[in-house]
């Protein structure tokens, strides 16, 4: 390159060029977000929907929602940087349904912009800094190579105060793997036994929040292992779930450069053993004002093929640091630094590896958040005033063939109130009885007919439907199960047969609806009486599944009950259908289970999910009461413990505090930043000096002190 003929900075192999004095790089309308003016020759950006971006971008203030993502287009091929911050989270209480509120704050990371004067715009930093990522693992998005065959040059124009100090540039992983070890509120692990012939296989299972790729929020990987001890020469494999070591994500994967308190240049990185390696320059930096700092790494050898570059062993080389075009520190046999992904699925590391911090380091997982479970109370013993304020009676809210536009108007026929005289609860310690307050639902004699709904019985009567609705919208998040539970007591509310002895169809179910699709995962409905059709519809009841045997069996407290298919067996208070051989454990319920019977508390449940990757939505929840007969007067229904739960609040995992990156790289730069250039090769000493001279000549107001010399002629 003929530098004498070049009247501008060097642009060959210039992959990133942020210049805050240029409007295309930064202006007042973009906050502190800054864009590169150039792109790497190999840059590629595709049409990508990063639905899970908030899972990691929430932690450094890039996003204020953890449950949403961003989209990337082919035009997004210029490297960009954003101001770091953190989110202040306010979770709803168990009595609220409005969802999480978030405020993004920057008070711990202050910075400001200077837009006046002759030296051009620049940012003043007092702990704040910019951060961005140049590659997405597993996606067609790369703005800078992860390994630099011909070396790398990092050139930044900063403003130094007499007391300036801190990390001014960092590259690599900005944090450890947030999901290793996993947080139990997001992923619940367990074991299940699969019987195959005479062999029992124990398999690890997971439940909880899922990503848009249906992965749980943990770092377990399926690993095939060879079984030992078999004489048969054929290989027999087993699958084990392994959790990779968390430290593997940071070793040889992050490097930072800083100005120490005594004004010396320094570097630090995490070596292959997970140890922090740091060193400081012998030279004290006396420069103040605008100062150009260059970091140049030149490898001792150049790989000849792309495969070597990707897989070749770590090289050594020469690291030189320059101040205003002059070398002030040379380190020989410096280990090559290049970068790698985290050991987890691609969507759970977006923006974490392949990161650049300018004007600071990284606070790691200090401000990271995780999902956790919370149970929300809709009704549990509140008074009549609460019931009247929070519950509403209307017809079936879902469109049907005969009622395509259902009304949300009040529907007379049911009265709702608090009842504290029908039930008592005994104190186990004192033996004293206390009244138990429950919700009372009573028929008033006015029929709430809403038209035929398809549940007409043998009498041909049109169905009567009431919806007891919790009238506050409930905030829900996608990619997780919501479980609604309540206890129901039927004191003879339904008429069971008509005048000819034919059974009515009576049913109570938990109904969830909203503007988004709702998928029911499993449920427990109340039906009285049960019919043969109900029983035959169950996939597995008792010891003899239908239709192979004309009987059904179930066991409660060691007693077996049986009967003729198609008829209810007994009015036993604990009667329930839908379990695999045993009754009591509600966790074993299968899809489409029924409870029945009177004068006993029955569990009801509905587990649902909203449309995957739809983020935050709102739904309504209530009890749908249906009959093709009539109701009895003075024979109420009672409801208590009406709740729902899900992993939809945000909490911090104390185990993620003060990890390696936070301990060693959580340092902001005190000073100013104006320009950042990253070259995909190692500039020579004359080239470094050339750029410094061009900067000084182009803007004398910078007052940069650049010495002439070498082959560069000051022009």
Q: Where are the domains of the chain?
A: 3-12+109-179+254-369+653-702, 187-243, 375-479+505-520+614-648
Count of other CB atoms within 10 angstroms of residue 700:
10
Residues of the chain falling short of pLDDT 70: 191-204, 220-243, 446-462, 531-592, 708-715
| Interatomic CA distance for residues 676 and 691, integer angstroms | 12
Whether the CB-CB separation of 427 and 410 falls below 8 Å is answered with: no
Asked if residue 258 lies in contact with residue 165, where contact means CB atoms within 8 angstroms, the answer is yes
Output the CA–CA distances (angstroms, integers) from residue 318 to 295, 304, 408, in the order listed.
11, 20, 75
Give the span between the Cα atoms of 12 and 283, in whole angstroms: 31
Identify which of 538, 609, 534 has the alpha carbon closest to the alpha carbon of residue 567.
534
> Taking Cα atoms as reference points, which of 189, 257, 219 lies closest to residue 352?
219
Q: How many CB atoms lie within 10 A of CB 698?
A: 13
Kind of pairing between the strands at 593-595 and 518-527: parallel
CA 195/CA 227 separation, integer angstroms: 18
Q: Can you give the pLDDT at residue 225?
A: 59
Collapsed DSSP state (helix, strand, coil) of residue 401: coil
Helix (H, G, I), strand (E, B) or coil at 353: coil
Question: What contacts 188, CB < 8 A, 6 or more positions away?
Answer: 206, 207, 208
Rg from Cα positions in the chain: 34
Q: For residue 409, what are the contacts with CB-CB under 8 A and spacing of at least 6?
A: 394
Angle formed at CA 681 by CA 680 and CA 685, multiple of 5 degrees? 135
User: If we measure between CA atoms, which residue out of 11, 715, 17, 672 comes closest to residue 291?
Assistant: 672
Whether 55 and 350 have beta carbons less than 8 Å apart is answered as: yes
- For position 474, what pLDDT does the model report? 96
Distance from C-alpha of 621 to C-alpha of 275, rounded to nearest angstrom: 54
Q: Which helix (H) or strand (E) holds 426?
A: strand 414-426
Gap between the Cα atoms of 284 and 323, Å rounded: 11
**Torsion sign across C-alpha atoms 430, 434, 437, 443:** positive
Number of other CB atoms surrounding residue 657 within 10 Å: 14
**Sign of the alpha-carbon torsion through 689, 694, 699, 700:** positive
CA distance 487 to 507: 15
What pLDDT, on the 0 to 100 scale, is given for residue 694?
95
Looking at the chain, how many residues does it have? 715
Closest listed residue to residue 483, CA positions, set 617, 635, 587: 587
Which residues, 6 or more positions from 133, have their beta carbon under 8 angstroms from its beta carbon? 350, 351, 352, 353, 354, 355, 356
Quick one: which of 264, 322, 263, 261 has its CA closest to 293? Answer: 322
CB 712 within 8 A of CB 689: yes
Distance of CA 178 to the CA centre of its chain: 10
Cβ atoms of 104 and 86 within 8 Å: the answer is yes
Question: Angle 108-111-114 (CA atoms, 0-180°, nearest 5)?
Answer: 165
pLDDT at 190: 75
Query: Is residue 202 exposed (0-12), middle (13-18) or buried (19+ Cβ within 10 Å)?
Result: exposed
Q: What is the pLDDT of residue 79?
A: 98
CATH for 3-12+109-179+254-369+653-702, among 1.10.3720.10, 2.60.120.200, 3.30.450.20, 3.40.640.10?
2.60.120.200
**The pLDDT of residue 600:** 87
Report the pLDDT value the prediction gives residue 614, as an integer from 0 to 100: 94
Nearest to 51 by CA among 182, 214, 221, 207: 214
Entry pTM: 0.87
Are 710 and 686 spatial neighbours (Cβ–Cβ below 8 Å)? yes
Alpha-carbon distance values, 393 to 132, 385, 472, 487, 637 (Å):
52, 15, 13, 19, 14
| Beta-carbon contacts of residue 307 (< 8 Å; ≥ 6 apart) | none
Tell me which residue of 184, 315, 180 sits closest to 252, measured CA to CA.
315
Q: Residue 513 CA to chain centroid, in angstroms?
A: 24
CA–CA distance, 672 with 126 (Å, rounded to integer): 9
Calculate the dihedral angle through the C-alpha atoms of 19, 23, 25, 27, rounding to the nearest 10 degrees: 110
* Predicted local confidence at residue 420, as pLDDT: 95
**What pLDDT does 534 receive?**
65
Tell me what pLDDT residue 203 has.
Answer: 66
pLDDT of 675 reads 98
């Amino acid at each position: 390159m003929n530098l004498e003929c070049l009247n501008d900075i060097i642009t060959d192999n210039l992959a990133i060029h942020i210049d805050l004095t240029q409007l295309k790089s930064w202006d007042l309308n973009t906050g502190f977000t800054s864009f590169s003016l150039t792109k790497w020759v190999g840059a590629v950006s595709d049409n990508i929907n990063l639905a899970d971006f908030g899972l990691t971008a929430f932690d450094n203030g890039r996003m204020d929602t953890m449950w949403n993502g961003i989209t990337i287009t082919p035009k997004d091929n210029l490297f960009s940087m954003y101001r770091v911050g953190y989110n202040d989270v306010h979770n709803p209480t168990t009595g609220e349904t409005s969802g999480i509120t978030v405020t993004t704050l920057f008070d711990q990371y202050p910075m400001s912009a200077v837009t006046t004067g002759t030296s051009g715009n620049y940012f003043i930093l007092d702990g704040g800094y910019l951060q961005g990522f140049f590659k997405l693992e597993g996606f067609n998005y790369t703005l800078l190579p992860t390994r630099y065959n011909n070396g790398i040059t990092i050139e930044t124009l900063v403003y130094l105060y007499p007391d300036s100090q801190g990390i001014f540039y960092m590259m690599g992983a900005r944090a450890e793997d947030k999901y290793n070890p996993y947080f139990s509120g997001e992923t619940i692990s367990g074991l299940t036994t699969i019987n195959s012939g005479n062999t029992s296989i124990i398999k690890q299972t997971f439940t909880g929040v899922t990503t848009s790729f249906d992965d749980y929020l943990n770092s377990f990987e399926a690993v095939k292992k060879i079984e030992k001890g078999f004489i048969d020469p054929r290989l027999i494999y087993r699958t084990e779930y392994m959790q990779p070591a968390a430290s593997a994500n940071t070793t040889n994967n992050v490097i930072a450069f800083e100005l120490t308190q005594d004004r010396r240049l320094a570097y630090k990185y995490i070596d292959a053993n997970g140890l922090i390696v740091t060193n400081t320059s012998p030279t004290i930096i006396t420069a103040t004002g605008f100062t150009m700092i260059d970091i140049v790494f030149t490898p001792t050898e150049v790989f000849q093929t792309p495969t070597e570059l990707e897989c070749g062993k770590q090289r050594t080389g020469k690291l030189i640091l320059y101040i205003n075009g002059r070398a002030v520190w040379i380190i020989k046999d410096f280990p090559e630094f290049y970068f790698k992904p985290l050991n987890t699925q691609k969507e759970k590391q977006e923006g974490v590896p392949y990161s650049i911090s300018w004007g600071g380091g990284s606070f790691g997982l200090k401000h990271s958040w995780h999902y956790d479970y919370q149970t929300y109370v809709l009704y549990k013993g509140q008074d009549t005033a609460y019931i009247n304020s929070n519950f509403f009676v209307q017809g079936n809210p879902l469109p049907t063939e005969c009622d395509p536009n259902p009304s949300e108007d009040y529907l007379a026929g049911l009265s709702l109130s608090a009842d504290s005289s029908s039930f008592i609860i005994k104190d186990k310690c004192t033996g004293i009885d206390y009244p138990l307050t429950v919700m009372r639902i009573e028929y008033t004699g006015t029929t709430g007919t809403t038209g035929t709904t398809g549940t007409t019985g043998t009498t041909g009567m049109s169905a009567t439907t009431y919806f007891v609705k919790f009238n506050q919208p409930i905030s829900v998040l996608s990619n997780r199960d919501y479980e609604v539970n309540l206890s129901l007591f039927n004191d003879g509310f339904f008429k069971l047969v008509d005048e000819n002895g034919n059974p009515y169809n009576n049913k109570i179910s938990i109904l969830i609806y909203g503007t988004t699709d709702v998928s029911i995962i499993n449920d427990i409905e109340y039906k009285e009486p049960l019919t043969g059709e109900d029983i035959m519809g169950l996939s597995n009841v008792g010891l003899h599944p239908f239709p192979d045997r004309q009987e059904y069996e179930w066991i409660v407290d060691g007693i077996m009950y049986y009967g003729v298919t198609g008829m209810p067996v007994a009015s036993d208070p604990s009667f329930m259908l839908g379990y695999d051989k045993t009754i009591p454990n509600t966790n074993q319920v299968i899809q489409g289970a029924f409870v029945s019977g009177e004068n006993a508390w029955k569990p009801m449940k509905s587990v649902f999910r909203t449309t995957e990757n739809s983020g935050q939505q709102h739904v309504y929840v209530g009890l749908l009461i249906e009959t093709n007969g009539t109701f009895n007067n003075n024979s109420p229904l009672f409801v208590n413990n009406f709740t729902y739960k899900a992993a939809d609040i945000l909490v911090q995992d104390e185990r993620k505090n003060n990890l390696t990156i936070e301990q060693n790289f959580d340092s902001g730069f005190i000073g100013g930043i104006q320009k950042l250039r990253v070259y995909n090769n190692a500039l020579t000493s004359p080239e470094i000096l050339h750029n410094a001279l061009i900067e000084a000549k182009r803007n004398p107001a910078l007052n940069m002190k650049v010495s002439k010399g070498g082959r560069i002629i000051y022009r």
